[in-house]
């Protein structure tokens, strides 16, 4: 079991964006062993490539417009919408416009902090 965690209060202004390439940036917000929240910024046209992971993912569209595909089903989502990715389901995202997603994972994504 990992012992990685953040403080109970985290200020967005104190976290640097991590450049993931191809128009995608990430900030890790709060996390501990069982849960993690991240902010992902996409430039228009950026693609979150198809992938799967054992974590359950709940996401909120903070801004922008995205085409999400989860387990073969596609939907267009805009600010205020949300989605859930069950464990081990293939999913991807296309940013139609500049936008931001808030992702919550359980358990935490250890691969994001290693």
Average pLDDT of span 63-83 = 98
CATH code of the domain occupying 21-113 = 2.60.120.10
For residue 88, pLDDT over 90 is answered with yes
For residue 4, pLDDT over 70 is answered with no
Percent of the chain with pLDDT over 90: 92
| pLDDT at 107 (0 to 100) | 97
Average pLDDT of span 4-18 = 89
Q: Which sequence spans correspond to the domains of the chain?
A: 21-113
Q: Which SS3 state, helix, strand or coil, does residue 4 take?
A: coil
d(C-alpha 66, C-alpha 31), whole Å: 25
pTM exceeding 0.95: no
| Strands 35-42 and 99-106, sheet pairing | antiparallel
């Amino acid at each position: 079991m990992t012992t990685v965690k953040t403080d109970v209060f985290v200020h967005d202004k104190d976290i640097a964006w991590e450049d993931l390439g191809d128009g995608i940036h990430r900030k890790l917000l709060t996390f501990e062993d069982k849960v993690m929240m991240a902010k992902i910024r996409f430039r228009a046209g950026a693609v979150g490539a198809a992938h799967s992971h054992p974590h359950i993912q709940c996401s909120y569209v903070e801004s922008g417009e995205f085409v999400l595909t989860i387990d073969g089903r596609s939907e267009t989502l805009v600010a205020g919408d949300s989605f859930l990715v069950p464990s081990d389901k293939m999913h991807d995202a296309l940013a139609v416009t500049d936008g931001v997603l808030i992702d919550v994972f359980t358990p935490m994504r250890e691969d994001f902090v290693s």
